[in-house]
Amino acid sequence: MSIVLQGSTSGSVTLQEPAVAGTTVLDLPATSGTVALTSQIPTSKVLQVISGTPKTDTFTTSSSSFVDVTGLSVTITPTSATSTILVLFQVNGSQEVGAGRASLRLLRGSTVIDAGAVAGSRTPALGGFSAADSSIPSAPVSGSFLDSPATTSSTTYKIQAAMTAGSGDCYINRTMQDADNANQIRMSSQIIVMEISA
């Protein structure tokens, strides 16, 4: 049975019964308010935020192939396959002075998602370190990436590093010199993910 509400001046609103079997209960709020239409409900809400523990220890690699930076990963399980995942990251560190180039990239699982395009022999990366002084850190590599994993399965995002030209070491959260005195600093790095509704 439909319920017809007459307007205070003219017209009416009809509450139409659903075509379902059995009993359906609609709980109304106990406070005053306004009913919002579906078209009025905002989209792109933050559904969850997962923050990896800030990485405060150091990491060093001389590998010419990309390797995982231990402690710079975070895992999220999306609530909907239509959600997007906003990845925020900041990586601090340096590289050996006069050595090759320390490069970084962002992955979802084993898939590289944030790196430059392939162009000849150039290395696709999201950024990297350079150093002219062994006691001074490089500028941080920070950024964001909006990913569409299209899954509700557990998904891991991580940072990888490599020395992609020549020899030498890549350092995370420390300088090359890393001497035990007050003019040297230790840093922290972090990766955070947010699930955004469609």
- 0.85 exceeded by the pTM? no
Higher pLDDT, 33 or 52: 52
pLDDT score recorded for residue 169: 94
Whether the pLDDT of residue 30 is over 80: the answer is no
**Quick one: CA dihedral 54, 59, 65, 67, positive or negative?**
negative
Burial code of 53-69, b = ≥16 C-beta within 10 A, e = fewer? eebeeebebeeeebeeb
Over its C-alpha atoms, the chain yields an Rg (Å, rounded) of: 26
pLDDT in tens, 13-29: 787 777 777 777 777 77
Angle CA(145)–CA(136)–CA(129) in degrees, nearest 5?
Answer: 35
**By the 8 A CB rule, do 124 and 118 touch?**
yes
Residues of the chain with pLDDT > 90: what percent? 66
